[in-house]
């Protein structure tokens, strides 16, 4: 099972898991909430999948592999969002 072989409901569920885990790992103020977690997770899966294929790792290899790749991409995306969002912390 590859991330791109999932149907849209599978993308949303995997994206929610990856986005939720990345929001737990990266404590920040940007991209919070259920819908934001799903979007960050789905975009993170696309980013992670693209990075994995371009570095020669190939397919993710199953649900856990897809979740790991989506989580890695989600963490990178959240770090980029936190870097761009330069609001003062109060």
pLDDT for position 60: 63
pLDDT for position 7: 65
pLDDT for position 6: 61
Can you give the residue ranges of every domain in the chain? 3-84
Range 13-37 burial, b when 16+ CB lie within 10 A, else e: ebbbbbbbbbbeebeeebbeeeeeb
pLDDT for position 38: 80
pLDDT for position 82: 83
pLDDT along the chain (90 residues), means of 10: 60 81 79 78 84 76 80 89 74
């Amino acid at each position: 099972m590859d991330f791109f072989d999932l149907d849209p409901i599978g993308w949303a569920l995997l994206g929610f898991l990856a986005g939720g885990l990345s929001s737990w790992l990266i404590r920040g103020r940007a991209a919070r909430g259920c819908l934001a977690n799903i979007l960050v997770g789905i975009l993170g899966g696309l980013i992670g999948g693209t990075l994995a294929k371009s570095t020669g790792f190939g397919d993710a290899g199953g649900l856990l592999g897809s979740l790991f790749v989506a989580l890695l991409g989600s963490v990178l995306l959240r770090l980029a969002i936190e870097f761009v969002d330069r609001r003062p912390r109060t």
